[in-house]
Structure 1
Amino acid sequence: MNRAQRGLEAFLRRKAAPPTEHVEMLALPDGGEKVLRIRRHAGARRLTLRLAPDGGEVRVTIPRWAPFSEGRDFALSRREWLAAQLAKIPQTLAIGTGSLVPYRGRDLVVAWEHRLPRRPALVGERLQLGGPEDGIAGRVRRWLESEALGLMQGDLAFYCAAADLDTPLLRLSRAQRRWGSCSSQGTVRINWRLVMAPDMVRRSVVAHEVAHLVHFDHSPRFHAFLGAIYDGDIAHADAWLKRHGRSLHVPFG
């Protein structure tokens, strides 16, 4: 078979393959609508439903043999649950003088005075800053990201030392679906919003990605290795993130 014939066969196979994704609008009980994204997945054995962390869309995963209509019916049957989950998503966090900002599991009070330096400074439980009042939110967010980078670099060095590994490159992530990731080239990415969670939660995610530098899967060996290097209670950290993780995605305004 020559190259042209192989190319034609590959084209025909792709053309014959069923589409893997379907998008439509899903009506909600309150009269509103959300984007419904239905995806076929080769490894799926059942239908699963998730709400995007920011509440922007509803995601249904179906087995590759299932029709999209089954995914739509599945979402429709769970509209009341979706409405309850949407009600839990925090609204925009208005940052101004006197506002509370989550940081390492506690709330800081934003204390703005025009005469103070523009860069935020942590003083006890107060986050003090000056500069133009209409730029407070942006400066607070940049401060949180800077704090996240410093803390996570320390976490990464700590767990790499525990794993007897060189410390790889760290990047902050703004992903909404993952708290952390590790590339095959060794770069570790951690969601900056974890700086708002208790330390043990942030550190558990970093330790998780360090364990992936040794075991690039979720095998028993991976979990054993993670348990050996993490200096806390993994189950407790995972439970916190499952219960409160969505609140970390609150938009800043």
Structure 2
Amino acid sequence: MIDWLRRPDRQPASPRPIAPRAITVAGREMPLVIRRLAQARRMTLRLSPDGGEVRVSIPRWGRVGDAEAFARERSDWLAQQLRRVPERASVTEGSHVPYRGEALQVAWLADAPRKPVLDDGMVVLGGPRESLQARLARWLESEALRLMADDLAHYCARAGKAVPRLALSRAQRRWGSCAADGSIRMNWRLVMAPDFVRRSVVAHEVAHMTHFDHSRAFHAHLAELYEGRIEDANRWLKREGRALYRLFG
């Protein structure tokens, strides 16, 4: 991520929606998403976890033209980030699948149940070999829903909130979201991350049930809800998050 600071000449009365744009990175045309954030004090540039879009966040007083130029001037840096996005891989017998921060070896046995079962550092399943990857993905999603439902109940209790509807997301660019009606969607791929990372995102979305922004009050509330260091979880996602998109494309 790249930061760039610019002081305001004046405060705009109300930010207007920013039309979608595009940018060419390493010969590839990509969406350029520019967002105004009320709490932002500087311009930040990053690549989405799956490498599918370029994102620039700007303060309320930021200029869209500056943001676009900021991204284009750093196309070489973006190309470097794009090269770091892991290539997609298939899951076969003997592959390793991340689960709650651990690498499980996939073991196929002809007489094993079709549904995957954990067994001493392995995930064991039978059934047709050709549907092995699809069944592992469904198992991971069911595990994600189970674990995230527990996380959600825990943090809602801490926040004094009723537990909202929970749904899984297959989003390519967001880890979680909290809708205006309070319902929460969580990226199922977080089941592959360590528990403290997954739980930090659930806590983040629960905090939005009280503060529907990223203000200081929001961050203070999140710090009260989440037991660990939110900085550690964010750092893990920035460093390792793209790897969660390598499998089960």
TM-score of the superposed pair, with normalisation by structure 2? 0.81
State the one-letter code of the partner of 2:98. P
SS in structure 2 of the partner of residue 95 of structure 1 = coil
Structure 1 counterpart of 2:181: 185
Q: Please report how far the alpha carbon of residue 222 of structure 1 lies from its aligned counterpart in structure 2 after TM superposition.
A: 2.2
Structure 2 counterpart of 1:34: 29
Identify which of 169, 173, 179 aligns with 2:169. 173
The 8 Å contact of residues 21 and 40 in structure 1, kept in 2 or not, is answered as no
The 8 Å contact of residues 115 and 135 in structure 2, kept in 1 or not, is answered as yes
Aligned-partner Cα distance in 2 for 1:19–1:170: 29
- Report the aligned-residue RMSD: 2.7
TM-score of the superposed pair, with normalisation by structure 1? 0.80
Q: Please report how far the alpha carbon of residue 252 of structure 1 lies from its aligned counterpart in structure 2 after TM superposition.
A: 2.0
For the pair shown, the structure with the greater C-alpha radius of gyration is: 1
Q: Please report how far the alpha carbon of residue 92 of structure 1 lies from its aligned counterpart in structure 2 after TM superposition.
A: 1.1
Aligned-partner Cα distance in 2 for 1:72–1:164: 42
Matches within 5 A, 1:18-33: 20-21=18-19, 23-24=21-22, 26=24, 28=26, 32-33=27-28
Percent identical pairs in the alignment equals 53
Structure 2 counterpart of 1:247: 243
Cα deviation 1:32-81 (Å, max 9, x = unaligned): 423243647597887653323222333456788554xx666544432321
The 8 Å contact of residues 34 and 58 in structure 1, kept in 2 or not, is answered as no
- Could you say if the C-alpha distance between residues 193 and 38 of structure 1 is closer, same or farther in structure 2, counting changes exceeding 3 Å? closer
State the one-letter code of the partner of 1:21. A
Can you give the 5+ residue segments of structure 1 that lack an aligned partner in the other structure? 1-17
* Greater mean alpha carbon deviation, residues 220-229 or residues 108-117: 220-229
Can you give the 5+ residue segments of structure 2 that lack an aligned partner in the other structure? 1-15
Q: Which has the higher contact order (CA 8 A, sep 6+)?
A: 2
Structure 2 counterpart of 1:112: 108
The 8 Å contact of residues 34 and 57 in structure 1, kept in 2 or not, is answered as no
Aligned-partner Cα distance in 2 for 1:34–1:141: 30
Q: Please report how far the alpha carbon of residue 164 of structure 1 lies from its aligned counterpart in structure 2 after TM superposition.
A: 2.2
Identify which of 196, 203, 209 aligns with 1:213. 209
Aligned-partner Cα distance in 2 for 1:201–1:40: 25
